[in-house]
A and B are shown apart, each in its own frame.
Chain A
């Protein structure tokens, strides 16, 4: 066998020819960005995770859209609506001349059919739960442009629920292919991309009368690799990154300062909590530690949150003491009293609770060395740094901490099914600001009541108090009274520290400077909530 120059060049060319992964070229009117994983469904009624929610947001036409900047509901397919004084009837008035993307007219018949489908228990639509008693809700259409929805039970903030119900052609659900929103699903290759095309029959026009959306299409690449996403963004292949990790923020900022945005604290929190379940497979003395308020408050006071924000998030986070972020202006308790960082006070609290120091170790009244593990999920670099920093902070008050990072399913099994853990460090993602969406976290009977799930009766008086206050804010009519009740819940949590809140990660976005019309917001989906008004500079 002779290897001539011909063979060698062919060899090299083939090697490099198989180089970059196949990425489809983009047309100028098209936008592209990455989603972490495939949408599990394209049926708007069955959406139950983030990727399919994003596709539904871009394609589904809704009656009412929440303006993420002003936090007020705005008319979308419904030109106007009225809510009865007792909150048990909503009447919508549709715009005239509405059409679906395939040209067929959109009337109240389609709205009624879509609503009934969502409310039908056979569909098992997650959004139906927000109606509280979905089977008893009645929908009727007196004429082609009016829809009346009768609710057996008043639902606070019912308008926001209609932001999540897509109107589809009656009797013809198409899984996103025929829609009344700005885009339609044109192509889907599993594991690769979802392609959306412009809906030429979208109702909205801009101030000059031109038809919206400006964009001709959107491509959502299924990509779970940060490095590739960042390098594709730098090459201009992706136009935006939602949820930019803090260490890449610095990297992109150096190259192109106008392409990155830090909007300040997001609604999300990073927190740590101890296992207070009495059925947990832990020794009794450990349960006694975790159920002791002084222990929890001491841990909270020993952690240097400013360091966590500065080091683990490269400064792109805000120290947190409350589960409601200051970005949630409506519901944040501005007058909250919380335990400040004070290592000496923490040591005093522990001494008062019967713990004493034995050289560098902390020992409880029964002679047991205070040693516990913090469980967290693998794959989150910032969280691992937080765990390492907390390890040192707690060593200063004598506590020995081991950090265990598990993969998500194993973590959830320990947390929610077996309660086989001592402390856990995780983040909570809050998409909606309204307290009603957090009922499941604070009601003691709920399986998501993380520190002591599914309690038959509240284990402590303060948990009973929280139950009462949360029910109160869920049923009171006056916003003022709701805020009062919810402020009290925040105060109880700050006093008792069942969750030890650490930081609010900042909202970090990367946005191509060539885009016009984007109004970034901390509320999801922060960059694309007004996608119909977004266009690239130089195109029309």
Chain B
């Protein structure tokens, strides 16, 4: 009963979020400069035609009310609309790319986290030289994604998954290093070590339980970082995924496509936020 209520509540919350995101996106895109402009207007050969088309569009579906009505009305009929730049149904564009992006995200998250945990744990055991040990990850934070991509290309090694994993690992490492460190210096752990407990048992029985809630909390942050990093990575590496489509939709003011992708990402963010560990007392002594 309680779980059913919880599920209903979470579903409701997600729907409210999606509705607000939809309204916000329509407002932002419609009133940002350049909605009724197209680069073909600058080409003297095609300009006249292009301008007539745009004026017609502005007259029939130009106001926010008209846009909102056609968008929400279409959704109620299961129609996600038609792309403004390609003229094909949005489902046709988004469908094949969903799989690519989801796989890229999953692989990036798994490898990034694996790398971060495997390096943060040993580093946290050292007493000195923490900053220097974390230098490779500081370097990764300082290099923009584009430069990393070019270096991968020049070295002829690595691709979007590698860059995404490194990006996530660099960020996660910074958090995890401190989490492990503070867990390692907890008083009850010191006492257990003093009493001669083996490292293995220390880690499994005492360290992990204190660290897991923090890690789950960081998971949300990580997923959100991955979602926002997906767009530049897909654009730079030319991966045929949702991020690349979102970027071209934003640059070409393709509202139906961008709206669909934004809602997918909002749903993902909402689900990520629901990774809720059981509230438990922080063990101190």
Contacts and interface: CB of A to CB of B under 8 A. Distances in A.
Interface of A: 3, 11, 14-16, 18-21, 37-38, 40, 48-49, 124, 126, 129, 189-192, 223-225, 227-228, 231, 407-417, 426, 429, 437-441, 446-448
A410 B253 CA distance: 10
B70 interface: no
Contact of B46 (A49, A415, A441): A49
A408 B157 contact: no
Contact of A224 (B114, B149, B238): B238
A440 B86 contact: no
Q: What 6 A-B pairs are tightest by C-beta distance, nearest first?
A: A409-B34, A440-B44, A412-B37, A410-B33, A410-B34, A19-B159
Nearest to A127: B45
B167 interface: no
Contacts of A408: 34, 37, 39, 251
Interface of B: prevailing SS: helix
Contacts of B107: 14, 18
B208 to A, nearest CB: 11
Contact of B159 (A18, A191, A231, A439): A18
A426 B43 CA distance: 12
B45 A126 contact: yes
B186 to A, nearest CB: 23
A441 B41 contact: no
Nearest to A440: B44
Contacts of B239: 21
A3 B46 CA distance: 62
A126 B49 contact: yes
Interface residues of B, number: 53
A533 B252 CA distance: 37
A441 B93 contact: no
Interface string B100-141: 000000010001001000100000000000000000000000
Nearest to A221: B238
B71 interface: no
Contacts of A224: 235, 238
B158 interface: yes
Contacts of A409: 33-35, 37-39, 251-253
B245 interface: yes
A381 B85 CA distance: 26
19 contacts: A16-B157, A18-B161, A20-B156, A37-B248, A40-B85, A40-B86, A126-B46, A129-B45, A129-B49, A190-B86, A191-B244, A191-B245, A224-B235, A409-B252, A412-B34, A413-B35, A416-B42, A440-B45, A448-B44
Contacts of A40: 85-87
Contact of A413 (B33, B87, B160, B235): B33
B33 A21 contact: no
B89 interface: no
A254 B62 CA distance: 53
Contact of A416 (B41, B48, B111): B41
A189 B97 CA distance: 12
Given A227-B149, A227-B150, A407 B251 contact: yes
B256 to A, nearest CB: 16
A327 B7 CA distance: 70
Contacts of A426: 42
B51 A447 contact: yes
B51 A21 contact: no
B165 A49 contact: no
B162 interface: yes
A419 to B, nearest CB: 13
A413 B240 contact: no
B237 interface: yes
Contact of A48 (B32, B40, B154, B253): B40
A413 B238 contact: no
Nearest to A230: B153
Nearest to A7: B114
B240 A191 contact: yes
Contact of B34 (A124, A231, A413): A413
B67 to A, nearest CB: 17
Interface string B159-173: 111100100000000
Contacts of B48: 129, 440, 447
A15 B236 contact: no
B276 to A, nearest CB: 24
Nearest to A412: B37
A160 to B, nearest CB: 13
Contact of A412 (B39, B85, B87, B238): B39
Contact of B36 (A19, A191, A417): A417
B47 interface: yes
Contacts of B248: 37
Given A20-B159, A409-B252, A15 B165 contact: yes
Of A11, A15, A124, A407, most B-chain CB atoms within 10 Å: A15
Nearest to A377: B39
B268 to A, nearest CB: 21
Contacts of A19: 157-159, 162
A188 to B, nearest CB: 12
Contact of A21 (B43, B150, B237): B237
B159 A225 contact: no
